[in-house]
Structure 1
Amino acid sequence: VMSGSYYLADVFEYFEPLTSRIEEANYGEGMIAGLLEPGRAERSNGEIIGIPYGIDAYGLMVNNELLEQAGVEPNFETWEDVLAACAVIEEQLPDIACLSYPSAQPEQSPTFFIAIYDGTYINADGQYELEADKAAAAAEVVGQIWGYLPPNGLALTFEEAGQIFMDGQSAMLATWPSFVSTALDDPETSGVYGKWSQVPFPGKGFPWLSLWNLFVPKASENKDAAWQWIQAFAGEANAKEWYTKYGIGSVWQSTYEDEELAAAHAHQWPALVADFSRAKNPPLSGEAQDFLAATLIEIATGQKSAEDGIAEVNEKWQTIPVPPAILEVAAGAGFQAQ
Structure 2
Amino acid sequence: MKSFLKLVSVFVFIIILTACQSSETTKSNNENGKKTVIEYWHVNAETQGGKTVEELVKEFNAQSDTTKVVAKYNPDMYKGLMQNLQAEVAAGKTPAVVQVGWSFLDYFSNNFNYVSPQEVIDKNYPEDKTFLQDHFLENVMNLAKNSNGKQVGVPYSLSSPVLYINRDLLKKAGLDPNGPKTWEEVKEFSKVIKEKTGKYGFYFQEPADNWATQALLESNGVQMITDGKATFASKEGIEAYQLLADMILKDKSAVHLPWDQGVQSFIDGNVAMAYTTIAQRSNIQDNSKFDVATIKSPAWNGKKVRVPAGGAMLAITAKEENQQKSAWEFMKYLYSVESMAKWTKGTGYVPPRKEVAGAENGLKTYLEENKMMQAAIEQMDEVVPWTSFPGNAGLQAEQTLLDARDEILSGKISVEKGLSSAQDTINNLLK
TM bucket (normalised to shorter chain) is 0.7 to 0.9
Identify the residue that residue 142 of structure 1 maps to in structure 2: 244
1:123-157 Cα offsets, whole Å, 9 max, x none, are 43x33343522222222122134346668x33x23
CA drift of 1:227 comes to 4.1
2:374 to 253, 258, 270: 270
User: Quick one: higher RCO (CA 8 Å, sep 6+), 1 or 2?
Assistant: 1
Secondary structure of the 2:229 match is coil
CA drift of 1:83 comes to 1.3
Aligned positions of 1:70-89 closer than 5 A: 70-72=174-176, 74=178, 76-89=180-193
Q: Is the 8 A contact 2:163 2:275 kept in 1?
A: yes
Q: Does 1:177 align with 2:278?
A: yes
Identify the residue that residue 288 of structure 2 maps to in structure 1: 190
Q: Does 1:10 align with 2:107?
A: yes
Q: Is the 8 A contact 1:98 1:149 kept in 2?
A: no
Identify the residue that residue 230 of structure 2 maps to in structure 1: 128
Q: Is the 8 A contact 2:205 2:276 kept in 1?
A: yes
CA drift of 1:239 comes to 1.1
Q: How many residues align?
A: 307
Q: 2:151 corresponds to which letter in structure 1? A: I
Q: 2:321 corresponds to which letter in structure 1? A: E
Identify the residue that residue 231 of structure 1 maps to in structure 2: 332
Q: Does 1:211 align with 2:306?
A: no
Secondary structure of the 1:59 match is strand
Identify the residue that residue 51 of structure 1 maps to in structure 2: 154
Q: Give the Cα separation in 2 of the matches to 1:287 and 1:211.
A: 20
What TM-score, normalized to structure 2? 0.61
Q: Give the Cα separation in 2 of the matches to 1:52 and 1:110.
A: 17
Q: Does 1:252 align with 2:349?
A: no
Q: Does 1:68 align with 2:163?
A: no
User: Residues 183, 212 of structure 1: CA spacing in aligned structure 2 closer, same or farther, 3 A cutoff?
Assistant: closer
1:264-300 Cα offsets, whole Å, 9 max, x none, are 311x111022345515312231211211121123223
Q: 2:97 corresponds to which letter in structure 1? A: M
Structure 1 gap segments, 5+ residues each:
323-338
Q: Give the Cα separation in 1 of the matches to 2:354 and 2:297.
A: 20
Quote the RMSD (CA, aligned, Å).
3.4
2:388 to 245, 260, 283: 283
Larger Cα Rg: Structure 1 or Structure 2? 2
Q: Is the 8 A contact 1:54 1:211 kept in 2?
A: yes
Structure 2 gap segments, 5+ residues each:
1-95, 123-127
Q: Give the Cα separation in 1 of the matches to 2:268 and 2:137.
A: 33
Q: Is the 8 A contact 2:210 2:402 kept in 1?
A: yes
What TM-score, normalized to structure 1? 0.75
Q: 2:99 corresponds to which letter in structure 1? A: G
User: Residues 27, 169 of structure 1: CA spacing in aligned structure 2 closer, same or farther, 3 A cutoff?
Assistant: same
